[in-house]
Structure formats: C-alpha cells, structure tokens
Amino acid sequence: MNDIQRNLSTDEQLTLLKRGVVDLVSEPDLKERLTRGTPLRVKLGADPTRPDLHLGHAVILRKMRQFQDLGHKVIMLIGDFTATIGDPTGKSKTRPPLTLEEARANAESYLQQCRLVLRQESEVLEVRYNSEWLEKMGYKDIIQLASRYTVARIMERDDFRKRFEGGVPISVHELLYPLTQGYDSVALEADVELGGTDQLFNNLVGRALQRDYGQEPQIVMTLPLLVGLDGTEKMSKSLDNYIGITDAPHLMFAALMKVPDALMPNYFTLLTDLPEGEVQALLAGHPAAAHEALARTVVSWLHPDADLDSALERYRAVAKGGIPENIPSVTVPAGEVNADGQVSVARLVALAGLEPSNGAARKLIQNRGLRLNGEVYGDPQGLWTLGADGVVLQKGKDKFMRAVLEG
Amino acid sequence: MNDIQRNLSTDEQLTLLKRGVVDLVSEPDLKERLTRGTPLRVKLGADPTRPDLHLGHAVILRKMRQFQDLGHKVIMLIGDFTATIGDPTGKSKTRPPLTLEEARANAESYLQQCRLVLRQESEVLEVRYNSEWLEKMGYKDIIQLASRYTVARIMERDDFRKRFEGGVPISVHELLYPLTQGYDSVALEADVELGGTDQLFNNLVGRALQRDYGQEPQIVMTLPLLVGLDGTEKMSKSLDNYIGITDAPHLMFAALMKVPDALMPNYFTLLTDLPEGEVQALLAGHPAAAHEALARTVVSWLHPDADLDSALERYRAVAKGGIPENIPSVTVPAGEVNADGQVSVARLVALAGLEPSNGAARKLIQNRGLRLNGEVYGDPQGLWTLGADGVVLQKGKDKFMRAVLEG
C-alpha cells in the first residue's frame, strides 16, 4: 500500500477526483472544501442485502480509495436498520426483512470484499450503521424530518414521477426512504457523498436536508453504472453479465479479455489509473493487446499476487479449445463405481459441482454443454470408465474440473 | 338523564342514527353490526388545540349521545401527542406546538364542555389519548404503517389534489397525518367513526387500515358542518358567527331567535329531536313561533335548569330596545371619579369589560355602538355623573352591564 499523499495541490486533487465522474454538485463547492486542507468525510451508503460485489461496485470503491489516498476519510454507511424492514408490503420476494444479525453478517461479508480496494487505517476508514440513529427515532422525529421536504420535490424523482403518472402504485413509506437516507448524511456530517448515477436524486436530498439542519450541504458525486459483459445492461449478478471482485485471477483475466470493444474506453477510465494518453494508444492498437493491458491492470489491482503470465497462457489455451494446466480436481468415492468399473457421467458432473443435481447435469449433457477430455459428450445416460488420470470435465468454455477415482 | 334504551329493534336504531347524517359507509355494515346486539365502539377524534365548543360541535356530540342512549360506547380520542408537534415547519402561527401538559389541560376543558351533551357513565364513555400508542411508535412501525397506503390514494383527498395540481407545497409529513389518524381507529378497534363531512376522507383511511390490520373495517358516518348565524359560512369562532355551547341561557336564546330563516330546517334536524311532522308544522307557521320552539328546545337541552320564559321576555324587551332586568353590574372605584364627581364614559366601558381598552371604547362610542340607559351616546371624550342607580351600558343589541359607584 502506497503512502497517503498529502502534498497535492487542490487542482491536482480535483483532477484526480473528477476522472470518470458524471455528476458533481458542485465543483466550486468541492474545490473550496479541498482548499481548506482538513480531511473530508466521504460517505458511501450500502444496503447489506446482496453481499456479492462485482466490478460495477468496484468503480465507486476505487473513487473512495482515491479520496483515501489523498488523506480523506471514507465512511462506509451500512443500512442495517433499513434492511431489517425489507419490503414492508411483503410483496417483493427479493427484499425479505432480515434480522439485525443477518444484516450485520451480510455487512461483514460486504466489508470483507471492500477491503480488497479500500485502505484499512482507521484514520481514513470509518464504518457506521444507521441503526445507531434510526433505532432511536420516534414518531415526532419522523414527522419533523418529513416536514422538511415537499411531496412535489420527492415526486420529481424520475421513477416516482413515471410511476405516479403511469398509475403504478407508490406506497407512502417509499417517500420516506430518500428522507431517511438523506438524514444519514446529517447524522454523519458528510462532506461528500458518492454513488451511482441512479443515486443522484437521493443524495441531493441529503444535501438539501443538511442545509435545513444547519450543516454545510454535502457535495454529491456520481459515477456511471458499469455496463456488463453483454454490452448493453448495467453489470449485475442477476443478469449474469458480471465479473465478481473476488473471482479467481484466471477467471477474472479471461472475462476481461472478452469485454466488448465498445466498452473498452469506459473500462479503462473507470477501472484503471492508466493515463489518458496511454489508454488512447492502446485503443488505437490491436484489440487483443488493449484487452491484455486491461486484464493485467485490473487483475493485478484486485489480486496483487496473481501470476498474470500464466493467467494469460491459460486464457489462450482455452480459447484455442485446449485444456489448461493446474485445474482443480474432485475425488470420486469408490461406491459410485458399478461392477463394470463405470460411473454415470451425469453423476460425475454433479459430484464435480458443475451442476447442482444429477437432473441438471443430464440437461447440460442433452444441451451439448459438456466436454470430456476436450470432446463434446452427448449421452445423458452415458457411463464412463475412469482411468489412472481420471477425466477432465468442461462446462461451457471455461469451467474445468478433473474427476479422479478414490484410492 | 333518561335510562339507556336497549330494547329498540335494529331498524328503529337505524332510523334514529341516520337522522341528519350525510355520508354513511356503509348502511348495510352498520345494520349488520347493530343486529349483533353487542355495544359498538363509536370513536370521535378531537384536536385539543381550540377548546371552545359551539353548536357546530354539538351536532356531532348529539349523534354520539344518541349512540350512548342506545347502549353503545362512545370513545373520545384526544390527539394530545399530535398537538405536541403542532406545525413542524413552524410556518403556521395558528398551530404552535403545545407541551403535553398544555394539550391535556385543553383536553380537560374540551371534555368539560362535552359533558353538557354526553352521558358520563364509564359503561358508555371512554376517554383515550393518542400518546398512548404514538409515543411508542418507532421508525419501523411508521414505515410499516406508511407502507399500507399509496401516495395516489392519499392524493385523492380534495385539498391535497388541489394543492398538488396548483403547485401549493405539501410537506411529506402531511401525508402521514391521515395515516396516523387512521391508525388511531386500529388502536381503538373502533366500530364506527363520526366526524364532519370534512373528515370523510380521513375516516375512510381508518376504515381501510383496519381491514389491512385484520380488523373489521369501521363504519364511517359524517354530519353536516352547521352553517353559522351569518347564513353562509360554517359556524366558527374565528368568523364570529357562532353560538357557544356554554353561552349563558339568555344569550343562547336570543341568538337562536335570530337564526336566518333559510337555516331553520337544518337547525331543527341537527340540534333537536323534534319529530319531522312537528318540524314541518312549525316551519309552515309564523317564523317567530318556529324560532321560539327552536330556542326553547336547544336552550333547555344544554341548560336544563334555564328559565325559558324569562329568557324569552328578556329577548323581547331587548328587541324592542328596552333594558332587561337582572343585568350584571360592575363597581367603579372611587379613584376613577374626578373632582366634579364625573367619570370618563370610555373608561366606564373598559371597566365594564365591554371593550378591552379605553381606546377601543372611544372607537365604539365614535361608531355609535354604545347606549347609556337606552340612549345612543356619541361623545368619545364625554364624562358622566353616576347617580345612586349607576348607569346601564349597552353595547350593540344585547350586551348589557350596569356600572355603579363604589361605597
């Protein structure tokens, strides 16, 4: 970890911090506050319901890290109390209410992943939970908070306006969430709040509320939502177009080699510190070289100890249809073998963890998604004799597993 | 006080209860619930900020009393906790936040006045304060409550819709008030809620919330807003078109004798139990006789011991410009008299409490609003020699005060 740089001028800081930023409300405010020379309090809110982070999240965490590198203090605000409410209407299955313990456990996993990107020194990292103030809030406090904002201003939020005009129900409590989130900034006395562009409205509510509560209004900075590997939708786990930030180095490397060309400028800007000139030169050259530079930079950032050369070799071997070296293996218990010394292939797939069940494995085989030792294998009911070297199972292009007999 | 009547049939009860009612949501619900034969819980909410009741309030209290007379239980719900919030934006001077003690003191005065109309037996009267549940409500409870109702439905309320469309700001907390008021019905397990026609929307929110909280939805019953003595605006203290329910019998009598003819049917329906046939006969006869019947009925209801004949005589005397008997008197301290044995007339008016200051008294005299011993007196700077009988001051048509010298 590099030392914290405290000797940059305001303009140098501003240039670094503005890279990749979409909204900045406002630049003069940020400049003025940086000029003071005292560390800023930089807030990022997190909903501890989906603990798996991908490169889309990493974009914002990188920006947080830049603030840290300049000596500012990052505040990770965990919405633990909000998570215990979930969807109070009970209609959404994706937002079940959690217990405070579940929310805290998710938060722990989330923070663990954030540590791949963020500095750990308490001087530049503070973790807070909104239960700290929300648990104490009573009816009167909420009425007072809600009185600070008009319905018309809340309804300016894009999704609210569209739903209201389109007759799609909005429950009254949904209007309270942006206010609560804004109040978090008041409680934390945040100087800056970061978020995706989809958080612009909510974070501006925080800015307005701080002014109303007699604080200096926070600076709101948004970053683009990273487009996923499909090239069209924002990166998200549910769309399966994502690269997880804890993905193994060789998988992350291979995935980055396949980023659609149109997204390359964005990925360079948002996921690396490579200077603009160097990025332009790479983009002007051979696409494979640009991809390799991206993959090397991002993988070595998140996995500083990764062997980039062998990740590249492995990627090339697989791309040519070959079988990479050093693939993980699973041991097949002797009891799985029949009198003729054979094992069900579907069973092997399930044992290797490539599919969750024998049934799913049979479907995979039927759909011609399985290779055995590099050859497509098409018989869902087929049997296989495991030799001394076992067999290499391959699901899709890049999931390999060797199965070897026990003993 | 009559005995509680428990032997009326459902239809007989329904006929009594429907008299004067505007909205009834719904009649089949009410009929069904009356049929069960168990006493109903009949809620009336009160805001303990303006403790002076007038005949407009008495209309609803009468209906509550009818329920009591049929053996049902009336629940007076005092919004003490809501009163401690007042107008949280601080913009309205008419709704300053009260302390809980102030709210309770106002409520005491309010309940004192209600006792003129309602039965006191605990079997048919329950007094509750919403601090009982609101004080315990936390952030989570409020989110859960707010999640039960959509913004669109709240915005259907007439005044909200008009303000929203007209760009007049509505603060978010204002949307929470109807929900809170509705939740009161849940907390009280109300069977029926009464209110003026202006409360229809709020009380229907209570009906919807009860259903949502797994209770039987309350029956909502509204009564008209009584038009005041000016014949156009609803009766209200601030418009000075009201008759206070604690007004002295002779004043109440005189005021009722002056009810505009067009309002007479309404006043009979809403403020008396006189049978429809009798009312029609009175209205078809001489207006003075109808007014007298109204005045006698209403005054004897609120002042069972009043001498109605002398109230009528007094009214007639004053109407002819005469001076009534038995008027209150004020003693003028000897120090107010000058060397010539005279007192300032303006000073007398102020001492008698007919105007709040000497200046206001001079203005009254200038406007020819004062009579002395029955004669208009027009000199704002004038002096008067008080004889043995003192002098009778008369402001307007019906405010009399005798001033007599000390000793």
Residue B244 DSSP class = B
pLDDT given at position A320: 78
Would you state the pLDDT for residue A91? 65
Residue in B145, B151, B172 nearest the CB of A149:
B172
B271 pLDDT exceeds 90? Answer: yes
Q: Is A92 on the interface with B (CB under 8 A)?
A: no
Boundary (domain end) residue, out of A319, A339, A362: A319
CATH number for the domain spanning B280: value is 1.10.240.10
Strand partners, B25: B220
Q: Report how many Cβ contacts below 8 Å link chain A to chain B.
A: 114
What angle in degrees, to the nearest 10, is found between the helix axes of B264-271 and B276-284?
Answer: 150
Residue B148 touches chain A, beta carbons under 8 Å: yes
The residue from B265, B300, B319 where one domain ends is: B319
Task: Establish whether the linkage from the previous residue to B122 is cis, with ω within 30° of 0.
Answer: no
Same domain, B12 and B120: yes
Of A85, A172, A174, the CB nearest to B140: A85
- Whether B167 and A152 lie within 8 Å, measured CB to CB: yes
Quote the tokens at residue A334. 């002797």
Note whether B31 and B168 are same-domain residues: yes
Burial of A396 (0-12, 13-18, 19+ CB in 10 A): exposed
Distance CA A272, CA A357 (A): 40
Left (φ > 0), alpha (ψ -120 to 50) or beta: where does A390 sit?
left
Residue of chain A nearest B144, judged by CA positions: A88
pLDDT at B106 over 60: yes
Q: Which residues of A179-308 form beta strands (DSSP E)?
A: 192-196, 219-223
Task: Answer yes or no: do B299 and B341 share one domain.
Answer: no
The SS3 assignment for B274 reads coil
Q: In terms of domains, do A313 and A366 share one? A: no
Among B81, B138, B146, whose Cβ lies nearest the Cβ of A171?
B146
Computed from CA positions of residues B235, B239, B244, B248, in that sequence, does the dihedral angle turn out positive or negative? Answer: negative
pLDDT band (50, 70, 90) for residue B89:
low
Calculate the dihedral angle through the C-alpha atoms of B144, B147, B148, B149, rounding to the nearest 10 degrees: 140
Is residue B295 a part of any domain in this protein? yes
Q: What is the pLDDT of residue A123?
A: 93
Check residues B44 and A156 and name the one with the higher pLDDT: B44
pLDDT of residue A282: 94
CA–CA separation, B48 vs B78, rounded Å?
7
**What's the confidence (pLDDT) of residue B374?**
80
Note whether A142 and A273 are same-domain residues: no
CB of B263 closer than 8 Å to CB of B227: yes
* pLDDT attached to residue A93: 58
DSSP bridge partners of B155: none
Interface mutation target, options A142, A172, A181, chain B, most CBs of B under 10 Å: A172
Contacts of B164 in chain A (CB under 8 A): 151-152
* One domain for residues B14 and B108: yes
Q: How, if at all, do strands A391-395 and A399-405 pair?
A: antiparallel
CA distances from A29 to A26, A207, A218, A220, A232 (A): 5, 12, 9, 10, 34
Three-class DSSP category at B194: strand
Out of B81, B154, B171, the one facing A146 most closely (by C-beta) is B171
The answer as to whether B238 is a domain residue is no
Residue in A143, A151, A174 nearest the CB of B85: A143
> What type of residue is A45?
G
What value does the CA radius of gyration of chain B take, rounded to a whole number of Å? Answer: 25
Give the β-pairing of B24-25 and A383-385: unpaired
Q: Is residue A344 part of a domain?
A: yes
- Per-residue buried b or exposed e for A247-281, using 16+ beta carbons within 10 Å of the residue's own CB: bebbbbbbbbbebeeebbeebbbbbbebeeeebee
Q: Report the first-to-last Cα separation within chain A, whole angstroms.
A: 45
Q: What is the dihedral of CA B396, B400, B406, B407, to 10 degrees?
A: 150
CA atoms within 13 A on the CB side of B243: 27
At B6, is the pLDDT very low, low, confident or very high (cuts 50, 70, 90)?
Answer: confident
Sheet holding B219-223, edge to edge: B24-25, B219-223, B192-196, B41-46, B73-78, B125-129
In a domain, A173, yes or no: yes
Contacts of B95 in chain A (CB under 8 A): none
Q: Residues of A marked as binding? A: 237
Residue contact A172–B152, C-beta within 8 A: no
Direct distance between the N- and C-terminal alpha carbons of chain B, in angstroms, rounded to an integer: 45
| Minimal Cβ distance to A172: which of B89, B146, B167 | B146
ipTM: 0.72
**Looking at the structure, do residues B28 and B80 belong to the same domain, yes or no?**
yes
pLDDT value of residue A94: 60
Q: Do B175 and A173 touch (CB under 8 A)?
A: no
B167 CB neighbours in chain A (<8 A) are 152
Q: Which residues pair with B218 in a beta bridge?
A: none
Query: Whose CA is closest to A364, among B242, A376, B390, A403?
Result: A376
Report CB contact under 8 Å: A180, B85.
Answer: no
| Residues B286 and B338 reside in one and the same domain | no
Does the distance separating the beta carbons of A144 and B139 come in below 8 Å?
no
Q: Is B84 on the interface with A (CB under 8 A)?
A: yes
A171 touching B (Cβ < 8 Å): yes
* pLDDT computed for residue A149 by the predictor: 86
| Percent share of chain B, pLDDT over 70 | 97
Contact predicate A365/A345, CB 8 Å: yes
Measure A162 CA to nearest chain B CA, in Å. 13
Give start and end residues of each alpha helix (H) in A354-403.
Answer: 358-366
Q: Could you tell me if A164 and B154 are in contact, meaning their C-beta atoms sit under 8 angstroms apart? A: no
What single-letter amino acid sits at B116? L
Residue-level pLDDT at A405: 86
Q: Residue A101: inside a domain, yes or no?
A: yes
Q: Are residues B269 and B181 in the same domain?
A: no
pLDDT at B91: 65
**Do B174 and B295 share a domain, yes or no?**
no
Same domain for A347 and A401, yes or no, is yes
- Give the amino acid at B84: T
Give me the residues of chain A with pLDDT under 50, please: none
- pLDDT tens-digit profile of B61-74? 999 999 999 999 99
Structural domain that includes position B349: 329-405
**B92 in contact with A at a CB cutoff of 8 Å?**
no
CATH at residue B394: 3.10.290.10
Same domain for B80 and B218? yes
With CB atoms and an 8 Å threshold, state whether A144 touches B172. Answer: no
Interchain CB contact of A142 with B (< 8 Å): yes
B83 to chain A nearest CA, in Å? 11
From chain B, pick out residues whose CB is under 8 angstroms from the CB of A168: none
pLDDT at position B3 over 70: yes
Q: Give yes or no for A242 touching B (CB within 8 A).
A: no
Alpha helices by DSSP H, B166-275:
172-188, 200-212, 249-257, 264-271
User: Is residue A171 in some structural domain?
Assistant: yes
Q: Quick one: tokens of A361?
A: 């494995």
What value does the mean pLDDT of chain B take?
Answer: 89
Q: What is the DSSP string of A156-177?
A: TSHHHHHHHHTT---BHHHHHH
Q: Is A148 on the interface with B (CB under 8 A)?
A: yes
Place of tokens 């601090």: B131
Residue B9, burial from CB neighbour count under 10 angstroms (0-12, 13-18, 19+)? exposed
In this complex, do B170 and A152 lie within 8 Å of one another by their Cβ atoms?
yes
Tell how strand B399-405 and strand A24-25 pair up: unpaired
Q: What are residue A7's phi and psi, to 5 degrees?
A: -100, 15
- Is-contact B267 B56, C-beta < 8 A? no
- Quote the percentage of chain B above a pLDDT of 90: 49
Considering only the beta carbons, identify the residue of A151, A164, A167 that sits closest to B172.
A151
Does pLDDT of B94 surpass 80?
Answer: no
Of B154, B155, B172, which has the smallest distance from its Cβ to A146's Cβ? B172
Question: CA geometry: angle at B263 spanning B257 and B264, to 5°?
Answer: 55
Which of B297, B319, B341 finishes a domain? B319
What is the H or E stretch that residue A349 is in? helix A345-351
Residue A232 lies in a domain: no
On whether residue A296 sits in a domain, the answer given is: yes
CATH number for the domain that contains residue A86: 3.40.50.620
Position A1 scores a pLDDT of 56
Interchain contact, B152 vs A169, CB within 8 Å:
yes
At residue A374, the pLDDT reads 80
C-alpha B135/C-alpha B245 separation (Å) is 33
Q: What is the DSSP letter of B402?
A: E
Question: Within 13 Å of residue A407, how many CA atoms lie on the same side as its CB?
Answer: 7
Q: How far is CA A304 from the centre of its chain?
A: 18
Chosen from A139, A162, A164 to mutate, greatest number of chain B CBs within 10 A: A139
Angle at A268 between CA A266 and CA A270, to 5 degrees: 65
Q: How many domains does chain B have?
A: 3
The verdict on B180 touching A (C-beta cutoff 8 Å) is yes
Q: How far apart are CA A160 and CA A170, in angstroms?
A: 7
Using the beta-carbon criterion (under 8 Å), do A140 and B180 form an inter-chain contact?
Answer: no
CA distance A364 to chain B (A): 43
Residue B44 clears pLDDT 60, i.e. is over it: yes
